[in-house]
Structure 1
Amino acid sequence: MSVIALKIDVDTYRGTREGVPALARLLEKHDAPATFLFSLGPDHTGRALKRVFRPGFFGKVTRTSVVEHYGIKTLMYGVMLPGPDIGRREAEGLRAIRRAGFETGVHTWDHVRWQDGVADADEAWTRRELVRATERYAEVFGERPTVHGAAGWQMNEAAYRLQAELGYTVASDGRGEHPYWPCNAQGEVIGPVQLPSTLPTLDELIGLDGWTVDNVHEALLARTRDLAPLHVYTLHAELEGQKLAPVFERLLRGWRDQGYRFATVGDCARQLDLSALPRCPVALGTIPGRSGTLVVQQAALA
């Protein structure tokens, strides 16, 4: 059977408060399982504005109306306003998602800090950030997390090794085509099994090639028309959980009409023959519609 794993990245305080419950209601309406990955520390979204000097970033935020989707207040957190502690202030809301039957996991501690800093960070920095998020998750949910999805699809080799050390069993940290074992250049497996995002995100498509909020679902449905065993679609509480909810609902209906069923990242991982998965070196690359580099699946080792 063909499956689409729905992976929800929750980046901000507003996304946690408003987008997450709205998405939960929409998913329940369509009887669609999903994995919610939470940012668990301070919301410092405003500090991301320094990316304006990154090639391609200004064009992306212009196309996707960042102010409209995130709000002025969110864009001031960490710059002109103190960043609210998401995991502490919204702990009950996070637990409500788990009680509703959805899978939960870790996205990051400080989204902007991880996305902008981890690629060049050392082991000590990486350990501090990942341990903070892991411990906060355990504090909120009363158990250790097993699912991880990196903020901004950004990682380093130490982060993969720490995932294994901290008890994560499945991750969706990058972009790619199929599940694999992350390894170093020597072929040593360094982290848990990876289920990369296989489809573009809405903000990578809207405003390009004639795609608008009214027809962008057609771009994604065209990519899934030929049924595949597994796709992983990453959506955002700040986008599909708010103003782009109608687009997401059209996708849910369209994918079901194409013959897909929905599942969590963890459920998909449990169905895999892990011994048959390829080993792929970890590396950064580029993705159309997104500025900068991010984790991109590499060719499998022989």
Structure 2
Amino acid sequence: MKKIALKIDVDTYRGTREGVPRLVEVLQRHHAQASFYFSLGPDHTGRAIKRVFRPGFMKKVSRTSVLEHYGFKTLMYGTLLPGPDIGRNCADIMRSVRDAGFEVGIHCYDHIRWQDHVAAKDADWTKREMQRAVDRFTEIFGEAPRAHAAAGWQTNRYALRQTQHLGFDYSSDTRGTQPFIPTWDAEIIACPQLPTTLPTLDELIGRDGITMENVAQHLLDITGKPSQTGHVYTLHAELEGQKWMPIFEQLLQGWQEQGYQLVSMREYLQGFKPADLPRYEVKAGTVDGRSGMLAVQGQNG
């Protein structure tokens, strides 16, 4: 399958205002499709300071300039500055993405709250957070969401159940190798998972001799090897939509030269029959270059 699905996570107020319009323009210029997943509530990015105690976090920060990419104001939101409500302030930008022909879906309501807490939360907390995102999405777009991509690849069994209960066509909450039907302690969740299969730029740059100058070629070397199920590449409005856009343009051109169709996640899903997807457990695991534990595609069965 010569398809790469472009999954765009939009984490912050600044990323929505500045990165998203730039990404729409560059995708249109390269005749590429993509899916945008929005953070729909308050921007509390500053509260991520608690992650300094997480193993590997400071090493990642030292490799990629957080201040350069996110800006001083963003890093104060939710602490010294009130966090702006992204959905309230950026609804027109979000609708313009849909109107330009791109798929839109839910990333989360409050990015920091979800990413830092969901793994240990109960059913009521999880349902409340997801319903907040669904309600805000419906308010903005005038229709219910059909897709979900969890912030920070963080989830729990209750969130997976909600993807089925809410009628999502698919969800992309995990890291893995191919689309699958998720299970949790042998419980089958009838909502396909489309995991991110390729490493992200911030996981690569600064490791093993990989620099801003050669990271695009590194990724192109990976995709140069055939994959029967194609790939999902996750990018961020705050990174590829701003300082790292030249790298993203190198990737777009390189992938098209390799013969890939650059598609939305929905178009990617259409290449599979859900009834034929294999079942894999969702478990906690690590990903090279990223701190902490993530939801990953586990064993088949």
Do these two structures clear the TM 0.5 threshold for a shared fold by scoring above it? Answer: yes
CA-CA distance at 1:215 after TM superposition: 1.1
User: In angstroms, what is the RMSD of aligned CA positions?
Assistant: 0.8
Alignment of 1:178-193 (within 5 A): 178-186=178-186, 188-193=187-192
What's 1:76 paired with?
76
Give the aligned partner of residue 145 of structure 2.
145
On the 8 A contact 1:160/1:191 being kept in 2, the answer is no
- Output one character per residue of 1:182-204: Cα deviation in whole Å (capped at 9) or x when no partner: 11222x32241001000000000
Matched, 1:224 2:223: yes
Aligned residue runs from structure 1 range 239-254, under 5 A: 239-254=239-254
Q: Distance in 2 between matches of 1:140 and 1:185?
A: 36
- The farther-off stretch of 252-261 and 233-242 is 252-261
Distance 1:159 1:41 in 2: 18
Per-residue Cα deviation, 1:132-183 (whole angstroms, up to 9, x for no partner): 0011000000000011100000000000111111121111111000000011
Q: Distance in 2 between matches of 1:25 and 1:279?
A: 37
Q: Distance in 2 between matches of 1:54 and 1:11?
A: 20
Which 4+ runs in 1 deviate beyond 4 A? none
- For 1:192, the aligned partner's letter is C
| Equivalent position of 1:207 in the other structure | 206
SS in 2 for 1:281: strand
Alpha carbons of 1:217 and 1:276: their partners in 2 closer, same or farther (altered >3 Å)? same
Specify every segment of 5 or more residues in structure 2 that has no aligned partner in the other structure, as ranges.
Answer: none
For 2:8 and 2:268, how far apart are their aligned partners in 1?
A: 15
Tell me the residue number matched to 2:41: 41
Q: Output the CA distance in 2 between the equivalents of 1:284 and 1:192.
A: 19
CA distance in 2, matches of 1:234, 1:124: 29
1:145-294 paired onto structure 2 within 5 Å: 145-186=145-186, 188-228=187-227, 229-294=229-294
Q: How many angstroms apart in 1 are the aligned matches of 2:137 and 2:127? A: 15
One-letter code aligned to 1:215: N
Q: Cα distance, 1:299 vs. partner?
A: 1.7
Check whether the contact 1:4–1:231 (CA below 8 A) recurs between aligned residues. yes
In structure 1, what is the equivalent of residue 91 of structure 2?
91
SS at match of 1:74: helix
In the TM superposition, residue 227 of structure 1 has moved relative to its aligned partner by 2.5
Range that drifts further, 82-91 or 159-168: 159-168
User: Structure 1 residue 125 and structure 2 residue 125: aligned?
Assistant: yes
**What letter matches 1:68 in structure 2?**
E
